[in-house]
Amino acid sequence: MTTQPQGAYRRAVSLDTALATLAEQPCTVLAGGTDLYAGSPLAAGASPLLDIGLLDELRGISPIEWASRPAMRLGALVTWSALRDGALPDWAAALAMAARDVGGVQIQNRGTIGGNVCNASAAADGVPALLALDAQVELASRGARRLLSLERFLLGARRTELQRDELLTGFVLPVPAEGSRSIFLKLGARRYLVISIAMVAIAIDVGPDGRVSAARLAVGACGPVASRLPVLEARLAGLPSPLAPAALERLVDRDALAPLRPMDDVRGTADYRLDAVATLLKRGLAELSQQAVA
């Protein structure tokens, strides 16, 4: 078992002290620890750990106003169990569904949404749901704050836009139009405690005329980062809801899945992943469009 040298662990007692520490030296940020301890042995000479677990200002789910419109803010330390049990609105149901599929109850109680995103795994369960909900990432450094889209924040496998002196403090989710619904579907070798073979998150807005006014679809575990599907989103706009199975068969084709870059690995081949994604998309769109008009 490896250990870090004495003094390499710091515990922040406020957001200001956390940001001051990051301004002084690079640190590995410790939140729930479920990714960090499983994947990164704490070898001598590694960056000091900065424990942010005491920062209650980074917890909580609250309504806010953003860009002159209502929004919902998720603190970076919101746990999967809080998302699972937090009575999220119907339009954010995809997040609650993703939370139920993350590990076991112990992981759900410790793991955080901010840590899941910063880990930047291609199979991060929270990312497709956040993408489908148009999430903005809230970043802070000493004396500065900025927001950027989740798509811009994620640069590749294990790579993000986070700067060495920055801390991810939360997410801002704009409240969509009335009648919006979302869903998350995941395929794995078993139901729980498994890395995804493929997963999809879908959000659709249905207008008063019963037609899809907007659609947002994201796919995970099929490329270095989760991807939106702009061609399919554009095809869905204006269609009557509920969506007919025959229409879905035509809409979900290889052109619609072109942004995906699946790979062959021990969990499945690239072709299998593409077929699985097509099935999950059609299943999710059929179910969601039924819900939206119910």
In the predicted structure, residue 155 carries a pLDDT above the cut 90: yes
Residues 114, 167 within the same domain: yes
In the predicted structure, residue 111 carries a pLDDT above the cut 60: yes
Domains in the chain, number: 3
Of residues 54, 38, 39, 49, the one with CA closest to residue 5: 49
- Tens of pLDDT, residue by residue over 34-72, are 888 776 555 555 789 999 999 999 999 999 999 999 999
Distance of alpha carbon 205 from alpha carbon 209, whole angstroms: 11
Report if residue 2 sits inside a domain: no
Report if residue 229 sits inside a domain: yes
Residues 277, 193 within the same domain: yes
Residues 202, 270 within the same domain: yes
CATH number at residue 168: 3.30.465.10
pLDDT exceeding 70 applies to what percent of the chain? 94
Residues 281, 198 within the same domain: yes
**DSSP calls for 110-158:** H-BHHHHHHHT-TT-THHHHHHHTT-EEEEEETTEEEEEEHHHHEEETT
Report if residue 274 sits inside a domain: yes
In the predicted structure, residue 135 carries a pLDDT above the cut 70: yes
Residues 75, 165 within the same domain: yes
Sign for the pseudo-dihedral over CA of 129, 131, 134, 139? positive
Q: Which domain holds residue 207?
A: 180-293
From the number of C-beta atoms within 10 Å of its C-beta (0-12, 13-18, 19+), residue 285 rates as buried
pTM of the model: 0.94
Q: What is the mean pLDDT of residues 19-26?
A: 96
Residues 78, 139 within the same domain: yes
From the number of C-beta atoms within 10 Å of its C-beta (0-12, 13-18, 19+), residue 207 rates as middle
What per-residue confidence (pLDDT) applies to 42?
56
In the predicted structure, residue 191 carries a pLDDT above the cut 90: no
Domain edge (last residue) among 148, 174, 200: 174
**DSSP calls for 205-218:** EE-TTSBEEEEEEE
